[in-house]
Structure 1
Amino acid sequence: MSQPPEHQPEAAAPQPSPEAAREQGLLSVDEVIDIVDEHDNVVGTSPRGEAYARGLRHRCAFILARDAEDRIFVHRRTARKLVFPSMYDMFVGGVVGAGESYDETALREAEEELGVSGLPQPTRLFTFLYEDATGRGSWWSAVYEVRCELPVRPQAEEVAWHAFLTEEELTARLEEWPWVPDGLAAYRRLRELRGPR
């Protein structure tokens, strides 16, 4: 298994303004997303940047990607990410756009973040409401799994390091590496529901 770079965040760059982020392609703050209530019913729409700034409840899709050997795709986010920079994640995924379904988002985000095309439709496993302890708000999170037997080419602006880890390798690092909290919560729920494979 390749080792990740040491946990010295790649020169913790100052976080760009929403305008600078849009110009750099780091965050589409003008992208319109659905705003939902505590029961996951759509109650309105909002530009993504405003939804983040105001902590409006929205929707996300998380996809656990496994290779032909059943190993899990794990990556470290770049220091330039606006949300959870330089942290590790065992999921790829993103925010559901306005009028988009969870299933559509799951396939789109998996292909974009893994840098592949022609993935099968990810299998939906469960949905839960994530409440962020840092005050960023809450979001409904649909958790999926997909088999990716294609060579991955993750987006350099999104991913600083990546590898496919066995379940045992991943478990051994859960207490060692800084994980994105929503992904970690989703993974723990998955383990509780299904147990280790």
Structure 2
Amino acid sequence: MSADEILDVVDEHDQVIGRLPRREVYAGGHRHRCVFIRAKDAEGRVFVHRRTATKLVFPSLYDMFVGGVVGAGESYDDAALREAEEELGVSGLPKPDFLFKFLYDDGAGNSWWSAVYEVRCDLPVRPQAEEVAWHTFLTEDELRSRLPEWEWVPDGLAAYERLLGHRSG
């Protein structure tokens, strides 16, 4: 999505209260909607990547989810499939499974409703060069061992912590 793409601005209850171009949403710290998709390969390994240095939010940090913003009028489900296929560079993915939704707020002006999904990707990935600087698939143990070693996107870490709680609950 470009900086001119229109996004829904939402309140603390995830109700649409307006629409603005993406750059204005980010510049003004307006709450919006995002999707996080945990992609696993046929062996159950998690797709992990490093974001490009040109990303508007959290450049050059590692992420264990693919995803992005939800366009104005777009459903979370449609955005999850679109974002997963775009970032992984594939088409024909199954519909991602919705897991849960939470409000991410770092207290410093970054706040978005975050819908978390999971999808199995048996296709060879060709990650989007504008989004992904490096990628691999890691086992759950390998991923956990990298948590203290690499600098991760904070919203992805928040989603991961909630995912662990979701799975144990």
- Verify same fold: TM over 0.5: yes
Matched letter for residue 162 of structure 2: R
**Counterpart-to-counterpart distance in 2, 1:140 and 1:28:** 20
Name the TM-score, length of structure 2 as normaliser: 0.97
1:116 corresponds to which residue?
90
Match of 2:125 in 1: 152
Task: Supply the distance in 2 between the matched residues of 1:137 and 1:86 (Cα, whole angstroms).
Answer: 18
Counterparts of 2:109 and 2:55, CA distance in 1: 15
- In 1, distance between residues paired with 2:66 and 2:31? 20
Size of the aligned set, in residue pairs, is 168
Is 1:69 aligned to 2:43, yes or no?
A: yes
Of Structure 1 and Structure 2, the greater strand share is in 2
In 1, distance between residues paired with 2:19 and 2:143?
37
SS in 2 for 1:178: coil
Matches within 5 A, 1:1-197: 28-133=2-107, 135-195=108-168
Task: For 1:192, give the aligned amino acid.
Answer: G
For 2:90 and 2:152, the matched residues in 1 are separated by: 24
Structure 1 stretches (4+) deviating beyond 4 angstroms?
A: none
Q: Please tell me the root mean square deviation across aligned C-alpha atoms, in Å.
A: 0.9
Equivalent residue, structure 2, for 1:22: none
TM-score (norm 1): 0.83
Q: CA deviation at 1:130?
A: 0.1
Report the CA distance between 1:112 and its aligned residue. 0.2
Q: Secondary structure at the match of 1:61?
A: strand
Question: Larger radius of gyration, structure 1 or 2?
Answer: 1
Match of 1:144, SS?
strand
CA displacement, residues 113-136 of structure 1 (integer Å, 9 cap, x when unaligned): 000000000000000000024x23
Q: CA deviation at 1:193?
A: 1.5
Distance 1:41 1:190 in 2: 24
The Cα of 1:184 is off from its aligned counterpart by: 0.6
Instruction: Name the CA distance, whole Å, in 2 between partners of 1:156 and 1:47.
Output: 24
Give the C-alpha shift of residue 81 in structure 1: 1.2
How far is 1:157 from its partner? 1.6
Q: Which amino acid aligns with 2:113?
A: W
Deviation of 1:158 (Å): 1.1
**Structure 2: unaligned runs, 5 residues or longer:** none
- Using the TM superposition, give the Cα deviation of residue 79 of structure 1 relative to its aligned residue in structure 2, in angstroms: 1.1
Report the identity percentage: 74
- Structure 1: how far apart are the matches of 2:57 and 2:74? 22
